[in-house]
Amino acid sequence: MATLKLCIDGMAGDSDEVRIQEALRHEPGVLGAIANHQDACAEIEYEDDEVSLDRLVAVVTELGYPAELGG
């Protein structure tokens, strides 16, 4: 299991958080996801042998939110 922080632009409220969390949680290999619009980030727990970092970024960007790996 691994943990990833994504920096996400464009989240304005709770509905954006829910949308991102649900999309990430439905991705095979993702164990959990918590998005926070105030911090402009999401923390994701995932199985690194089942899903790539690029795919996790793509899940969010495909929803229309620019995302990149966080620190």
What pLDDT does residue 70 have? 83
> pLDDT tens digit string along 8-34?
999 999 999 999 999 999 999 999 999
Q: Quote the number of domains for the chain.
A: 1
User: Which CATH number belongs to the domain containing residue 51 in this structure?
Assistant: 3.30.70.100
Q: Quick one: pLDDT band at residue 71, thresholds 50, 70, 90?
A: low
CA distance 66 to 68: 7
Helix or strand run (H / E) with residue 68: strand 67-69
The model's pTM = 0.93
Q: What does each C-alpha distance from 25 to 9, 56, 70 come to in angstroms?
A: 19, 10, 19
Domain with 60, as residue range(s), is 2-69
